[in-house]
Amino acid sequence: MPSATDTMRSQRLGLLRTMLRIRQFEERCVELYSAEQIRGFVHLYIGEEAVAAGVIDALDDADAIVSTYREHGHAIARGVPMRSLMAEMMGRVEGCSRGRGGSMHLFDAARRFFGGNAVVGGGLPLAVGVALADHMQGRDNVTACFFGDGAMAEGEFHESANLAALWHLPVLFCCENNLYAMGTALARSHAQTDLALRAASYGLTSWAVDGMDALAVRESAGRAVESVRAGGGPHFLELRTYRFRAHSMYDPERYRDKTEVAAWRERDPITTLDAALRSAGELDDAGRTSLDDEIAAEIDDAVAFGEAGTFEDVADLTRFVTAEATP
């Protein structure tokens, strides 16, 4: 059996690998978007990778995930195949949502990844429903629901938090607080900016986490998931993070000062974990180069797969949309 030290080293390297896969996937998506191979809205997760990597690593395969429109990182961390994701981004039938969802509607039922959601806060009541179903079936699964700080100004959050607490449901609410709801600063839309404190008012066990530190996220998520699974009721994590890129590819980003963005970039979660691993003697230049090359090859393969994919036939336009009449 591997020692505890070996297990921890493997976990730390796994977190770095997940974050690098997310970062490189999205950087390639920027190139493909600029070349018009990806269309529609694209919301990048660059800067927030530690949240997806840390939280999802703490979940079991049977646990459920409900995400947002900024969900590439969640899907990758969950293990949705890169080929399937890239094909979906390119609108191909081989994509995880048959090319119909694109960037904002990734979905993989087999992995209990119940999709991105284009509606702000729209995933919250869905997560409560999934958790209720697991609870009624006597399963010890946890449902992790990701959403942004802007969603906490929506009625869905208050209704969902109240029901989850009232019914003692196995939900882990993961608020990715990146300080901006699209272009609106947190203090301009929330009278109470301590979001963990607000969640606690509903009876949720809540605390804030440094969302730029993958190890801190993994430790906090592990404690929360363990407590929820043991019957401790719904929990809330305020994951204080920051997106390095604009809200979406269409966003001119005139609402943030460049010095603020630069200061947060100094806390890049990938750079931070890389440095920690090197300091502990668990990573060197050769190891990092090998990791980068492996991921680059995986993404090249995914792009080639997507480009070779097929577009849905126009004759199938109403398939899955309208019910077929039966004779």
Instruction: Output Rg (C-alpha) for the chain, integer angstroms.
Output: 20
Q: How far apart are CA 124 and CA 151, in angstroms?
A: 9
* CATH at residue 232: 3.40.50.970
- The per-residue pLDDT of the chain, averaged, comes to 95
Q: How confident is the model at residue 277 (pLDDT cuts 50, 70, 90)?
A: very high
Q: What is the pLDDT of residues 252-266, one digit of tens each?
A: 888 999 999 999 999
Which residues constitute the domain of residue 235? 10-310
- Residue 325: the pLDDT is 65
Q: What is the pLDDT of residues 2-26, one digit of tens each?
A: 777 888 899 999 999 999 999 999 9
- Residue 310: the pLDDT is 96
Total Cβ atoms within 10 A of residue 74? 28
Specify if 111 maps to a domain: yes
Please give the angle made by the CA atoms of 307, 82 and 248, to the nearest 5 degrees: 80
**Sign for the pseudo-dihedral over CA of 74, 80, 81, 86:** negative
Specify if 327 maps to a domain: no
Q: What is the pLDDT of residues 280-313, one digit of tens each?
A: 999 999 999 999 999 999 999 999 999 999 999 9
Question: For a pLDDT cut of 90, what percent of the chain falls above it?
Answer: 89
Specify if 316 maps to a domain: no
- Residue 4: the pLDDT is 76
- Does residue 147 surpass a pLDDT of 80? yes
DSSP state of 267: T
- Does residue 251 surpass a pLDDT of 70? yes
Closest CA to 112 of 60, 43, 73, 55: 60
- Residue 323: the pLDDT is 72
Percent of the chain that is helix, strand, coil (3-state, to 5)? 50, 10, 40
- Residue 158: the pLDDT is 96
Specify if 318 maps to a domain: no
Specify if 155 maps to a domain: yes
Please list, in sequence order, all residues whose beta carbon lies within 8 angstroms of the beta carbon of residue 168, skipping any fewer than 6 positions away. 231, 233, 234
- Predicted structure pTM score: 0.94
Specify if 130 maps to a domain: yes
- Does residue 37 surpass a pLDDT of 80? yes
Asked if residue 65 lies in contact with residue 134, where contact means CB atoms within 8 angstroms, the answer is no
Q: Which of 53-67, 237-251, 288-302 bottoms out in mean pLDDT, i.e. has the lowest? A: 237-251
Specify if 1 maps to a domain: no
Specify if 4 maps to a domain: no
Total of domains in the chain: 1
